[in-house]
Structure 1
């Protein structure tokens, strides 16, 4: 099968798609990945056909947008920023690049919010599947949207109706205006229902940790898609730091951050000093860390999660879907510092599962508050024991195998 995959977003959005591509390539499918140049080398490394789409990534611009979103309390306001700045502002070029890249392919796979790529597939007459990493945004009476409590199905249904109405009159007009501008047909209840493929939406999340729910037939749980990095050789300074004392706290905010990495680093360092723990701080897109030599703290560039997290006593992270899954798989507890979007959902989920204290939103981050949560984990052995149990459950899943089986069984001839 010839499959075109549109890889939109940050590393947390793109790397699972690279993992899926790698597994499909092993099954002798032809894979073309449409992505910005930021991911070109990774795509070529796995052996897929790379097709450049969109515009160059601007880190400074990204940080300024992050600053705006971090300060917002209303999730809907954040969603509007993501729609305007992250998806639609350069959506026309993304759409037309994808339109050309997809010609002659049998199937398209794209993110559930990648409206430009979805419309390109529709215009080309190609069946399209979507991928989502957060089941918490999928409407079901079994679970309410974040942050509402799960009282009962009637309450959940009422809340979902209110959310649908708010989306219909805030986000939907933006998406539909874009769709019409590229010659497509407007969609009803766009942001709540019709961002997902009517054929199949693959939920790349672990059913071991996500609340059970009866979803409509187009939604299929697969399990997490872990991107297997090449064999990693750590620098000697890192291995010496790990061997020189007790297991450290690992701190990573991935592709989150904001424009002031120095200020964030100072908060993190002060919090670690207050807990009397050792720590490893990963730079990430937020450029965290310092050149200053600080006792018991090691600052580094990216280190593969699969290698690093199992050696941690606890991981302080932003609550991205992929990072959350990696921490759970590593069998260690979390402290979640959500910045935007679904990160609040994952933070609450880990708290409900008993493997993390209550989340600490980035806009409320202080040394005292972070230290308090780290100390809570250190003084609660049950969190570590519960994390070990969940890690064993996730280890039994093979989300990529499930996803590939679903894709290969998709009836192209009937579409």
Structure 2
């Protein structure tokens, strides 16, 4: 049997991810890339993203099929705050339905040759370990690869930051904190481990990473590989194609608006944060009026917003960021890594309003690179929003030379191609091993 034929047999790939739209879009791009190379792909996602994936021509299964997507998001994430306690509550909610997710993947995995899990899927490594399946871990943000050399910025725990004046033993404190924290948050994880007959491996450390391959799907501008990253980790770079995979019809109104006047300011929140925007859009309208600028507001369908028809504002529920950001002056957003990378690729400054989880870490890293201002969502006010946007528009808060270098660097990144290449190298390795076994038999 030829090696090429064996590799083709090892081309059924199960992609497991969950979370917000931003968590899923990179894997839609990966699925398309792998399909283009002739591989068979099935995605396991949460119900709120099933429709998005399905419309892309990708076979998919929702592990929480009994949940109504909008009601689920509204109930689980309404009232998000920037407090540490709020972030912990979000993590605990993300652990909901873990048992359902494990059961779904466990049912599907035996007929697949490779499992590709995201940083939001705790179930993928559990099932891979239980079934002895080859699997790949991947993360789209620096916090997917927790480093004590380049530690994440944790809101509410600034004293653990690497720039603090604490002695060297703080790293041990940080590691202890993560260990204890996840034991409290991921109670179901440990129970399921025991039910599957698995030894305990920490869900944020040893239990998360693969001994086969780990893919860092973010730009080295945000975080470079560290000595304490897991073995067999490859930094592929930003998967730029994430936003090009549009799941909505073409917005002619937005296209006409962009062509009808000066470049606008874009206001957008993540798909989860849009569930509970509080007074974000009302404050945005007040600031737009005072600045006298044109603007694009991206909000969730069904969220009421009264806009004076005379205002130069376009409101929509979806936009292709790779196109929109190139046509705007600056972007006011939540700090999701995909949104941030698109703004950097378009060479447009950001005013980041971090609210929970890894958004604070990404905001801090973007500010350090010199491409963003940061205004925590809880401190949001008309005055602070006005002043922040003014600084972006006058160019007094970002480094122009640095932005140009960053744009050139990001545009040269091809995370999708490199990720597919590394996955296929692993498949080739598995095919070679099978070829040896075949010859022995």
TM-score after normalising by structure 2: 0.84
Distance 1:290 1:210, change over 3 A: farther
CA shift at 1:263, angstroms?
A: 2.7
* Alignment check: 8 A CA contact 2:77 2:90 kept: no
Partner of 1:206: 219
Partner of 1:26: 36
How far apart, CA to CA, are the structure 2 residues paired with 1:284 and 1:187? 40
Partner of 1:124: 131
CA shift at 1:282, angstroms?
A: 0.6
Aligned-residue Cα RMSD (Å) equals: 2.9
Partner of 1:405: 421
Structure 2 counterpart SS, 1:229: coil
CA shift at 1:131, angstroms?
A: 1.3
CA shift at 1:217, angstroms?
A: 2.1
Residue ranges of structure 1 left out of the alignment (5+ in a row): none
* Alignment check: 8 A CA contact 2:115 2:134 kept: yes
* Alignment check: 8 A CA contact 2:20 2:272 kept: no
CA shift at 1:331, angstroms?
A: 1.3
* Alignment check: 8 A CA contact 1:310 1:332 kept: yes
Name which of structure 1's ranges 313-322 and 363-372 shifts more when overlaid on structure 2.
Answer: 363-372
CA shift at 1:323, angstroms?
A: 0.7
Which segments of structure 1 move beyond 6 Å, counting only runs of 4 or more? 154-157
How far apart, CA to CA, are the structure 2 residues paired with 1:179 and 1:47? 36
1:16-165 alignment to 2 at 5 Å?
16-55=26-65, 56-70=67-81, 72-74=82-84, 77-87=85-95, 89-146=96-153, 147=158, 148-151=160-163, 158-165=169-176
Instruction: From the CA coordinates, give the structure whose radius of gyration is larger.
Output: 2
CA shift at 1:393, angstroms?
A: 1.0
Partner of 2:321: 305
How many residues in Structure 1 have an aligned counterpart in Structure 2? 409
Structure 1 counterpart SS, 2:111: coil
Q: Deviations over 1:63-113 (max 9, x none)?
A: 34434431x522xx34532332112x2111111111112121111011124
Partner of 2:353: 337
* Alignment check: 8 A CA contact 1:69 1:340 kept: yes
How far apart, CA to CA, are the structure 2 residues paired with 1:166 and 1:232? 42
Distance 1:96 1:236, change over 3 A: closer
Partner of 2:204: 191
Structure 2 counterpart SS, 1:80: helix
Partner of 1:350: 366
How far apart, CA to CA, are the structure 2 residues paired with 1:285 and 1:80? 27
Q: Does 1:314 align with 2:321?
A: no
Residue ranges of structure 2 left out of the alignment (5+ in a row): 1-10, 435-441
Relative contact order (C-alpha < 8 Å, sep 6+): which is higher? 2
How far apart, CA to CA, are the structure 2 residues paired with 1:155 and 1:141? 14
Distance 1:291 1:371, change over 3 A: closer
CA shift at 1:298, angstroms?
A: 1.7
Structure 2 counterpart SS, 1:171: helix
Q: Deviations over 1:364-388 (max 9, x none)?
A: 1111111111011112265455333
Find 1:170's aligned residue among 170, 174, 181.
Answer: 181
* Alignment check: 8 A CA contact 1:248 1:279 kept: yes
CA shift at 1:400, angstroms?
A: 0.8
Structure 2 counterpart SS, 1:392: helix
Structure 1 counterpart SS, 2:372: coil
